[in-house]
Amino acid sequence: MADNIPEIRNYVFNFGPQHPAAHGVLRLILEVDGETIVRADPHVGLLHRATEKLAESKPFNHSIGYMDRLDYVSMMCNEHGYVLAIEKLLGITPPVRAQYIRVMFDEITRLLNHLLWLAAHSLDNGGMAVFLYCFREREDLLDCYEAASGARMHATYYRPGGVYRDLPDKMPQFQPSKWQSAKDIAELNETRQGSLLDFIWDFTERFPSRVDEYEDLLTNNRIWKQRTVDIGIISAERAIAMGFTGPMLRASGVAWDLRKKQPYEVYDKLDFDIPVGTKGDCYDRYLVRVHEMRQSNRIIRQCVEWLRKNPGPVMIDDYKIAVPPREEMKISMEAMIHHFKNMTEGYCVPEGEAYAAIEHPKGEFGVYLVSDGANKPYRLKVRAAGFPHLAGLNELIRGYMIADVVSTLSSLDIVFGEIDR
């Protein structure tokens, strides 16, 4: 009779690396017992570019652009961590205006990141509409990137000692084209009549109502709640032990935010709140991030108000570190030499080691920098926020259903640019 009993065994299969819900190039090996996940083993490294080793081979400033490409949806925040570590070793502080600009763009970046996360998260859970709405707002924010730095994504805008240049007085406008009528162009340019700050201010006026729109579609949506409530729960204690930071930790009820606890730049002068969750499930992580967007909007408005009133330098005037202004280069030999040395060899950083961390949209983004006194980093280690989050995936989804893998995975907010480095 024993021959008639079918053999029951666990089933092991691949999820990715080409799955649209794998958020890039994740190969996830899932072991299932029926529909229940027994074990998940993420295989990462398919996007490994050895950014840290490349940085060891070139002068400090040449690697700022590589930082954009780590977490490629929160570009300027990556630069910020790297630049802060260099500034710590050099012992320099950027001018206050540069600090406000950095904080403003950090928060714009946080909006960019959370909007993309919300778009992808809702798409993964079956909601196409929110995806399109989020990209509408991202478009405006990427225009801010472009106006300030010249590039829509990989900005390379922050420099040790400040930012590359001051904010433009005039927001670039759409030009007439054969694809858009004069009426369309006028509509598109309606908010672009003033400076970049006016454009950002206008954005912050309408953005809260846009967040309301997303919440209308999701927060009390029955299907949304069925997909996310009580899915992928992690306790506060366990989240700390697993090295979770950022919204992942705050959703479990720990009010830990480096902007409040270890303030850098001018965060201690700004007024904002830290949203925390209670349960640590996918739904709480969604709520925390949505509320963070509202808080970021508040911070941006305070920065715009300050920046309007306080003109000033945005870069230190130590030409051993910063590049002299172009006008000066035309008339001064010394400025010319400084520019040449800065662009080729760069500057030497005193011997030592430093760890600088910022509250990145995904969590704590840390840069550990070892310098032996040369013009190149001796060792650069990027502490990516998403790395421990993905390492905790096995624990988060064990015992849940196959369908919950996608919800949980996208609630982690992972980007392989920073995890694989």
Tokens found for residue 196: 């970049």
Q: Which residue type does 6 have?
A: P
Strands 158-159 and 363-371: unpaired
Does residue 412 bind another protein (CB under 8 A)? Answer: no
What are the DSSP calls for 167-233, one per residue? PPSS---PPPBTTB-HHHHHHHTGGGSS-HHHHHHHHHHHHHHHHHHHHHHHTT-HHHHHHHTTSS-
Contact with another protein (CB under 8 A): which of 265, 284, 364, 413?
Answer: 364
Contact with another protein (CB under 8 A): which of 151, 336, 374, 402?
Answer: 374
Nearer to another protein, 89 or 293 (CB): 89
Contact with another protein (CB under 8 A): which of 81, 160, 324, 346?
Answer: 346
CB of 328 to another protein, least distance (A): 17
Contact yes or no for 195/169 (Cβ under 8 A)? yes
Q: Biggest alpha carbon distance in the chain?
A: 98
Nearer to another protein, 48 or 398 (CB): 48
Contact yes or no for 234/396 (Cβ under 8 A)? yes
The 3-state DSSP class for residue 387 equals helix
C-alpha R_g of the chain:
23
Contact region for another protein (CB under 8 A) — 74-82, 205-213, 298-306, 341-349? 341-349
Contact with another protein (CB under 8 A): which of 12, 50, 132, 188?
Answer: 50
Contact with another protein (CB under 8 A): which of 30, 40, 44, 101?
Answer: 44
Q: Which residue type does 362 have?
A: K
| Count of residues that interact with another protein, criterion CB under 8 A | 55
260 closest CA partner among 251, 247, 269: 269
CB of 89 to another protein, least distance (A): 7
284, with CB counted inside 10 A (0-12, 13-18, 19+), is buried
What are the DSSP calls for 305-331, one per residue? HHHHH----SB---TTTSPPPHHHHHH
Nearer to another protein, 92 or 151 (CB): 92
The Cα 200–Cα 162 span in angstroms is: 21
The Cα 238–Cα 184 span in angstroms is: 53
Does residue 98 bind another protein (CB under 8 A)? Answer: no
Contact region for another protein (CB under 8 A) — 101-109, 179-187, 189-197, 348-356? 348-356
Contact with another protein (CB under 8 A): which of 38, 348, 401, 402?
Answer: 348
Nearer to another protein, 142 or 374 (CB): 374
Mask for 378-407, x = binds another protein (CB under 8 A)? xx-x-x---xx-xxx---------------
Does residue 226 bind another protein (CB under 8 A)? Answer: no
Contact yes or no for 47/25 (Cβ under 8 A)? yes
Contact with another protein (CB under 8 A): which of 24, 243, 313, 325?
Answer: 243
Could you say which residues in the range 128-167 bind another protein, by CB under 8 A?
Answer: none
Contact region for another protein (CB under 8 A) — 3-11, 58-66, 135-143, 187-195? 58-66
Tokens found for residue 384: 């990516």
Does residue 57 bind another protein (CB under 8 A)? Answer: yes
Contact yes or no for 392/232 (Cβ under 8 A)? no
Does residue 174 bind another protein (CB under 8 A)? Answer: no
By the criterion CB under 8 A, which residues form the site for another protein? Answer: 44-45, 48, 50, 52-54, 57-59, 62, 88-89, 240-243, 254, 256, 261-262, 320, 337, 341, 344-346, 348, 350-355, 357, 364, 366, 368, 370, 372-376, 378-379, 381, 383, 387-388, 390-392, 420-421
